[in-house]
Structure 1
Amino acid sequence: MNTLPRRPKCATCLRPAATCICHWAAPVASTVDVLLLQHPMEVENAKGSARLLHLCLPGSRIEIGEQFDEAALRAMLGAGGRQPVLLYPDTPGDRSLGIAPPPPFNAVLAPAQIQLLVLDATWRKSRKMLYLNPALQALPRLPLRDTPPSHYLIRKAHAPDQLSTLEATCYALAQLEGDEHRYDRVIAAFDGFIAQQQGQAARGSTAS
């Protein structure tokens, strides 16, 4: 039985070597600690932005799962004595799932006192992650304010107010750290990543 050889992968970005995205990494040290909780379905998603975000934020952490062990998740929350806050809107739909209103976020905390939790998933999957992990439901939430239109042009039917994980996190960090342009170079790196994805798609359609 013949099997096709597996394509070599980059050990850093975990993508096929031919489509490595490491050259887009634009590291910016964030004062806020960042923990990315990635849904398993996003791990192999070529259009996903979480891995590039991780490469751009030294010290950030990615954990993969849908329903996390409660003790393990609680151990991740508030690392270094920081206040964990979930980057997620408080929506009326939460009440229909039996999720209580989140506690208020203490806006006077210094950035160095905050841990930002980000769910890397589709909207539907992120709501399921929230529902399945009560420890996340108990966290204060951070809503984004006055964000620009998304640059995420490779997702179909993507509305201007639907941001990629990378964009949402950068805008949240800028908001928390009070520096509107601190993460501009990460957004620029994301633009390069998008252009690379569009080029690969165009070459694929030409070859087909």
Structure 2
Amino acid sequence: MSRPRCPACLHPPSTCLCDLVRPVRSRIELLILQHPLEELQAKNTARLLHLCLAPRSELLVGEQFGPGLLDPARLSGAALLYPGEGDGPWPRGWQPSRLVLLDGTWRKSRKMLALNPSLQALPRFSWAGPAVSRYSVRRAQRPDQLSTLEAAALALQELDPGIQGLDDLWRAFDSLVSRLAERRHRG
């Protein structure tokens, strides 16, 4: 029998994140594709990001998404926020209407990208300039490997100068990291 979970953040009641949720208003929508093994993780920044950007955010859980889920209408005007070959800074004057993010370990996200050809066809970008992760509760191979929330926040900051609530999103993220570190320390 599984233990009870908050219906919004999917955490157990003792670690519920809902008090951290602050509304963020952006013109750019997010489509977060989350690997199934990430959905119930305590370090789930994608869920916090999704809740803060609702209703301009959609979170789908899976590894391979059929054409009905990643149809041309849903991906129209979208860009994939994912580092790799051929990525670069946003072209001047171009603004996607939707950012697609892959949430999972690097290995899992590469597999998700490989299994979904419609994602491979999207323009692919990452943020301009080096970024150093503030996500101290997880191991990364390099300091510029960001959590899903960090990557989205940096991209939205660059793409949507009219965004409202971005500072609150960063505070929510920092609070999550502090809580996770405290729990780890108590251990």
Task: Settle same-fold status: TM greater than 0.5.
Answer: yes
Q: Residue 109 of structure 1: which of 80, 85, 94 is its match?
A: 94
Match of residue 34 from structure 2 = 38
Instruction: Extract structure 1 runs of 4+ deviating beyond 6 A.
Output: none
Does the C-alpha gap of structure 1 residues 76 and 22 become closer, same or farther in structure 2, counting only changes over 3 Å? Answer: farther
Secondary structure in 2 aligned to 1:166?
A: helix
Secondary structure in 2 aligned to 1:61?
A: strand
Give yes or no for contact 1:105–1:142 (8 Å, CA) kept in 2.
yes
Secondary structure in 2 aligned to 1:161?
A: coil
Does the C-alpha gap of structure 1 residues 13 and 165 become closer, same or farther in structure 2, counting only changes over 3 Å? Answer: same
RMSD value over aligned CA atoms?
A: 2.3
Q: Residue 191 of structure 1: which of 174, 178, 183 is its match?
A: 174
- Greater Cα radius of gyration, structure 1 or 2: 1
The within-5 A match list for 1:53-72 is: 53-59=49-55, 60-72=57-69
Quick one: percent identity of the two aligned structures?
Answer: 44
Match of residue 85 from structure 1 = 79
Cα distance in 1, alignment partners of residues 169 and 63 from structure 2: 27
Q: Using structure 2 for the length normalisation, give the TM-score.
A: 0.88
Give yes or no for contact 2:25–2:164 (8 Å, CA) kept in 1.
no
Does the C-alpha gap of structure 1 residues 126 and 6 become closer, same or farther in structure 2, counting only changes over 3 Å? Answer: closer
Match of residue 125 from structure 2 = 142
| Structure 1 residue runs without a partner (length 5+) | 92-100
Cα distance in 2, alignment partners of residues 66 and 162 from structure 1: 21
Give yes or no for contact 2:32–2:58 (8 Å, CA) kept in 1.
yes
Q: Residue 48 of structure 1: which of 36, 44, 51 is its match?
A: 44
Letter of the structure 2 residue corresponding to residue 117 of structure 1:
V
Q: Residue 19 of structure 1: which of 15, 20, 39 is its match?
A: 15
Deviations along 1:62-106, whole A, 9 cap, x unmatched? 00111111232115623xxx5010001232xxxxxxxxx68x976
Q: Using structure 1 for the length normalisation, give the TM-score.
A: 0.80
Q: Residue 153 of structure 2: which of 170, 186, 197 is its match?
A: 170
Match of residue 139 from structure 2 = 156
